[in-house]
Amino acid sequence: MTDLFAPLQSLKQGDWFKLICGASFQHLPAVRSLTLAYTLAGADCIDVAADPAVIAAAQAGLLVAKSLATDAQKRGFSYKGNSPFLMVSLNDGEDPHFRKAEFNPTECPRDCPRPCERICPAQAIVFNNKENFSGVISQKCYGCGRCIPVCPYGIIDTNSYMSTPGAIAPLVISTGVDAVEIHTKVGRLTEFKQLWQAISPWADQLKLLAISCPDGEGMIDYLRAVYDLISPLKSALIWQTDGRPMSGDIGDGTTIAAVKLGQKVLAAELPGYVQLAGGTNSYTVAKLKAMGLLKEAEVQGAGGRGEEFFPLLIAPCSPSSIAGVAYGSYARVLLSPILEQLENKEVNNTNVQTNLRLEENDVLLWQAVKLAHSLVSQIKSQYER
C-alpha cells in the first residue's frame, strides 16, 4: 500500500522528484531496473506507459526496493521503504511522447554510415544484433524523433497512437496505480473533455492528477479552461510544464526552456502545483536555485499526520515556487551504462538464457542507486537528514 504522506509532503515542501520512464517505453527489464534504482534513491513518483506489462514491471521494482530499504539506509541513502506514486500517462491527441520510429532496414544502402544508430539515446536502432535483427526495437523506442532528420535517405517515419481510457480504468482499480498524467496541447479542449469524461467516473480513486502541456499561444487561458473542466478535484493537481520534450540529455541549454515555461505558469497562479519537465537535466535544480524558484527548507512543525494530510492535497508549496522536477531522457541515459552491463550479463539456466535482474548483481545495483541519487539529491539535499 502506498504511503500517501511522503510523496505529497515532497510536493508541499517543494522537493518533489519524478522519474519518467517514458509513455512509449516498453522495455520491461529497463523499466523494472529504473524503478528499483530511483525508488531506492528517493524518487516520489514513477511515471510509466499505460501498459499492463509495463505497470507490472514497475510494481515488481517497487516491491524489490521495499525489501532493500534497510540495506539502502546502511549505505547512506535516505529511502525508508515508502513507495513512490505509480503514474500512467494518457494523451488526448497526437503527441511526441506517444509514438515510435519505424523503417524498413532492407531499404538501407550497405554503405550508409547509419547515423540513426549512433544518435538513438535508447539504443533502439540496431543492425544485425546478436538475434540477427535489424531495425527499430519497438519496446526500447520512446519517440524522441532524433533519428528522423539525420537519416540520409529519409526513410525513417513514426507511428503515433492514442490512449484508450476505457482500458485504463480497470488498471487503476485492480493494479493500484496512484496517479494519471494527461498530455494535451493548446486548442484541444474538445478532445480533452472527451478524455476526461471517460476518466471522471473513477477519477476520485486517484491520489494525483497531472496535466502536461507544452507552450503555445493562449496557453494560460487553455489551462484555466482545463481546470474548469476537471473541477472540483479531490486529488492533488500538478501542472507539468513541458519545455523541450525528451531533450534533457542533449545539453544544458535545454533546461532554460523548461524553467522559462515554469515561470510562465507560476505567474498565472493556477490552483495546484507547478512541476518542470521537458529538457530537465543536471543543470535544472542549480538554475532554479539561482533564480530563487525553489522553496527554502523550513523547520517542520510537530503536528501529527492527521493534521497534515488533508492540506497536502490542495495547498501548493508557494505561489512563486516550483514544487518539483520530472526527469525523463536524462535520468534514463544516466543509468544506461549500468543497464547495458546488466543486459550483457546473461544467466544460462537449463539452456535458457535470461538477463540478470538488477538486484541479482550487488555491485551494479548500488552503482545504479548511487548514480540515481546523484540526480535525486540535487532537489532533495536541503531536506535530507
C-alpha cell at 180: 494519471
- pLDDT for the residue numbered 380: 93
- Measured from the Cβ of residue 311, the count of other Cβ atoms closer than 10 Å reads 11
pLDDT tens, 181-216? 999 999 999 999 999 988 888 888 899 999 999 999
Q: Which of 194, 209, 162 is CA-nearest to residue 313?
A: 209
Q: What is the pTM of this model?
A: 0.86
Amino acid residing at 209: L
Residue 359 in grid coordinates: 538486484
Beta bridge partners of 91: 183
Q: What pLDDT is attached to residue 14?
A: 95
Q: What is the CA radius of gyration of the chain?
A: 20
Q: Report the helix count and the strand count for the chain, using DSSP H and E.
A: 14, 14
What pLDDT digit, counting tens, does each position of 75-111 carry?
999 898 989 999 998 888 875 666 778 888 888 988 9
CA atoms of 184 and 131, how far apart (whole Å): 38
| Alpha-carbon dihedral sign for residues 376, 27, 198, 200 | negative
CA dihedral (306, 307, 310, 314) positive or negative: negative
**Exposure b/e, 312-330, CB count within 10 A at least 16 = b:** bbeebbbeebbbbbbbbbb
User: Phi and psi of 88, rounded to 5°?
Assistant: -120, 150
Question: What confidence score (pLDDT) does residue 175 get?
Answer: 75
Across the chain, which has 385 residues, the per-10-residue mean pLDDT values are 72 96 87 97 95 92 97 93 92 73 87 89 80 80 82 84 68 79 94 90 90 95 98 95 74 86 95 95 94 73 37 50 95 94 67 74 97 97 64
